[in-house]
Chains A and B, each alone.
Chain A
């Protein structure tokens, strides 16, 4: 049989992580990402890997911190409320310059919210989330195939830049089933001389730490870290453009919102409206240049989101508010329909932003 299999998005992340050499998974179940943990529970013991259901999300992220310190590929996954609990640990991992993968299969919030899909953790994912100055590399899959592909990429980028990466999905992409061609086996290709692996009396101690007693040193570390972030913003931006060549209205959407928007763009074209789509694949770094370039050509942008409007701020910043930016959104677990997006495109085309 061919290598193509039918998978749930959550399972595709798990299998792709295993294929990327991840042998350590720590988590705590929460809808709508539980299949990921269940898949790990079933598969990890068969390959001498570790699946551990921690007593809480806080424990799980600190176990990730530990394995990351030892230089091994490691991940945790959760959904929105659980990812909030992890924020302190994520900040420590970022402050210790460690690679790790955190998966957020978002659900409606705030608070306990609900179990239906959402993108309302955009701010949390892209603007820091925990305390202190830091970023995560944030990848947003829009298909089950991308759930797999971006998982592998997230591990690579995390290793390359020595920082945590996040896969920011939503419940729909986590739960939907699609055919997927699984990525080939891979693993870490960078040296990790900083890893805490035991000196064997042959080298100096490695110390993994986010505590700095001297403020000047902490400041210096922050500046150096942000130099690295600058390089990432330069080199690692990923996005897809759809029908943008002659577009007069540009929809910006990621994940499930981008799939709905694509249908709306096609519908708009059928009615003679020149619509196009920019789909950020990385939301940090955000495709600022692509949006800025489009701003010179379009009448306006429509930000389509499963939130009260979070990415729209990045769209406005990227285009310097040179043209109007409108919001087409649903929240609390609801998904905009293609008709709703089409109406927003028409409004922008008609100048009623």
Chain B
């Protein structure tokens, strides 16, 4: 995949669109290209199933992980660790930010936006999954995108089509959303950066712009 990584990559979108999975895979992808990478899980919305779940794998691969101090604990206390400032400000490392769902989650990003905008080397990605019931169409996705943009002060710069039905996703499920993703690109004026698919399907898409995903493992 041809992708020119920016110093800071932010994954935002309707909750459940696959931001955490993408953030984890993207951080590992950067790391495989020998970039120094920090992944910051600043999802203040979801109590569990988050990028911190992959901390051991990420750490083993040499990705630095920053998470909310109480993530995956029994404390329901959204708070941002000071280390996020480091990730955002340190220009000798690449930063991948996993932002929580919807506008409520993206509010947390507002605190860091002045640094991100000043440096101006960022990709603010809207993650779209057209199989999510409240973002079935380009118009509905655009509505969510505008709600997020209104609170976080960082403008979107691109779209990733992460349309999936979880583990049962077929190549046809993915390709049938290409039209909707294209339309979202048109009505939002943002480029479609890539389409992400689980890795066993990647071979079915010979065209460029496919990003293979390893799904987080479950034991049930």
Contacts and interface: CB of A to CB of B under 8 A. Distances in A.
B62 interface: no
Interface in A1-58: 1-2, 4-8, 11, 15, 31-32, 35, 39, 42
Most chain A CB inside 10 Å of its own CB: which residue of B15, B47, B73, B130: B47
A326 to B, nearest CB: 21
Given A4-B165, A256-B220, A115 B74 contact: yes
B132 interface: yes
A2 B166 CA distance: 15
A115 B133 contact: no
B133 A7 contact: yes
Contacts of A335: 220
A4 B131 contact: yes
A1 B16 contact: no
Interface string A106-146: 00100001111000000000000000000000000000000
Given A175-B49, A337-B219, A31 B76 contact: yes
A1 B136 contact: yes
Interface string A304-333: 000000000000000000000000000011
A259 interface: yes
B67 to A, nearest CB: 16
Contacts of A172: 48, 220
A179 B166 contact: yes
A15 B76 CA distance: 26
Contacts of B168: 179
A4 B163 CA distance: 12
A263 B166 contact: no
Contacts of B134: 39, 42
Given A31-B47, A179-B166, A337-B219, A115 B76 contact: yes
A220 to B, nearest CB: 46
A116 B46 contact: no
A259 B47 contact: no
Most chain B CB inside 10 Å of its own CB: which residue of A6, A114, A338: A6
A333 B74 contact: yes
A260 interface: yes
Interface string A220-232: 0000000000000
Nearest to A42: B134
B129 interface: yes
Contacts of B164: 6
Interface string B148-183: 000000000000000011101000010011000000
Contacts of B49: 175-177
Interface in A86-124: 108, 113-116
Interface in A153-177: 171-172, 175-177
Contact of B133 (A2, A5, A332): A5
Contacts of A11: 16, 133
Contacts of B74: 108, 113-116, 332-333
Given A5-B133, A108-B74, A333-B74, A179 B220 contact: no
A178 interface: yes
Contacts of A116: 47-48, 74
A260 B219 contact: yes
Given A113-B74, A116-B74, A256-B220, A175 B47 contact: yes
A171 B48 contact: yes
A115 B74 CA distance: 5
Interface in A204-258: 256
Nearest to B164: A6
Contacts of A182: 133
A153 B129 CA distance: 29
A32 B48 contact: yes
Given A177-B166, A337-B219, A5 B48 contact: no
Nearest to B137: A1
Contact of B166 (A6, A32, A108, A175): A6
A116 B48 CA distance: 8
The 6 closest A-B pairs by CB, nearest first: A114-B74, A259-B220, A179-B165, A6-B131, A5-B133, A115-B76
Interface of B: 15-16, 46-49, 73-76, 129-134, 136, 164-166, 168, 173, 176-177, 218-220
Interface of A: 1-2, 4-8, 11, 15, 31-32, 35, 39, 42, 108, 113-116, 171-172, 175-179, 182, 256, 259-260, 263, 332-333, 335, 337-338
Given A178-B166, A179-B166, A335-B220, 12 more contacts: A5-B131, A7-B132, A31-B47, A31-B76, A108-B74, A113-B74, A115-B74, A175-B46, A176-B49, A176-B218, A332-B74, A338-B219
